[in-house]
Amino acid sequence: GAKNNGRNTWQFYSAALHENAAQRIQLESQLRLALERGEFLLHYQPKLDLAGGSISGFEALLRWQHPQRGLVPPLEFISILEDTGLILPVGEWVIGEVCRQLGAWAAAGLPVPPVAINLSARQLQQADLAELIERIVVGAGVDPGLLEFELTESMLMVNPEAAVAILSRIKALGMRLSVDDFGTGYSSLAYLKRFPLDALKIDRTFVRDLPDDPDDAAITKAVIRLAHSLSLKVVAEGVENIAQLRELEQYDCDEIQGYYVSRPLPAADCVALLERAEQALAA
């Protein structure tokens, strides 16, 4: 279509737009049914503790098992869930499913690590979010200390007063809080001291070009120093090779997450990781 011009170009793009709009409407109606049809599932990506060399926890990542298209990644549907408000029931399902999984691992006698759950801005706009989480966790009989919630800087900035109140209640329940994709949103560093946070996750765009890019190296080092002086842990996202790991180790980074350690895994594949961790402990 690029070599077309005038009316042809317009028709080309117009058709593409209609196709996208139609696709989106179709996706939307399929997503409305996906929850009741049980088409959502979670994959779990481990985090590695650099000092101890052990798995320090997992992050739960949403997937959609589409009947025709196969496994669909979240970037293709999260924004639709958010725009339609479906993220509220789906987000609630995610919390319940993580609790169910933690219970199943514990029942199987596995050493159960904390699991982090991503929250959406829409969820944080629910004034009773902390009470909702408490009901699910208490109902499932799960130790609240095994749950962590990931928030982005921009989510925290929508209504900081309300966010502080909700997050303080979640903290008081014994759960951990971290800032996801740190460094990519607009935020005021002053808020870092107001929110009851436990960890910062450095966005993978700052990790990608380590150790060669001096700007990324400077930013990463400075964020780690800042975080530590505020008593926050630091997790580096998107670590794909040993050179990045070694560099982050030198900067005193606490934990790493990324394809170098493991891709996000189906729950069944996490069992082998946990069993190995248990054997390492027993040895």
Q: Which of 92, 97, 153, 180 binds Mg ion (CB under 5 A)?
A: 180
264 binds ligand C2E (CB under 6 A): yes
Binders of ligand C2E among residues 150 to 169 (CB under 6 A) are: 150
CA distance 101 to 166: 25
Q: Which of 30, 45, 56, 118 binds Mg ion (CB under 5 A)?
A: 118
12 binds ligand C2E (CB under 6 A): no
Question: What is the nearest approach in angstroms of ligand C2E to the Cβ of residue 77?
Answer: 9
Token representation of residue 94: 């995610």
CA-nearest of 70, 44, 63 to 55 is 44
CA distance 133 to 126: 11
CA distance 10 to 183: 39
Say which residues have a Cβ less than 8 Å from residue 37's Cβ, sequence separation at least 6: none
CA distance 95 to 104: 14
134 binds ligand C2E (CB under 6 A): no
CA distance 40 to 36: 9
Instruction: Return the range that interacts with ligand C2E (CB under 6 A); candidates 1-9, 11-19, 187-195, 236-244.
Output: 236-244
120 binds, among Mg ion, ligand C2E, none (CB under 5 to 8 A by kind): ligand C2E
> Is residue 218 within 8 Å of 247, Cβ to Cβ?
no
Say which residues have a Cβ less than 8 Å from residue 128's Cβ, sequence separation at least 6: none
Let me know how long the chain is. 283
Q: Which of 118, 187, 220, 244 binds ligand C2E (CB under 6 A)?
A: 118
78 binds, among Mg ion, ligand C2E, none (CB under 5 to 8 A by kind): ligand C2E
Binders of ligand C2E among residues 40 to 59 (CB under 6 A) are: 45
Chain residues binding Mg ion by CB under 5 A are 118, 150, 180-181, 237
Chain residues binding ligand C2E by CB under 6 A are 45, 61-62, 73-75, 78, 91, 94, 118-120, 150, 180-181, 204, 238-240, 258-259, 264
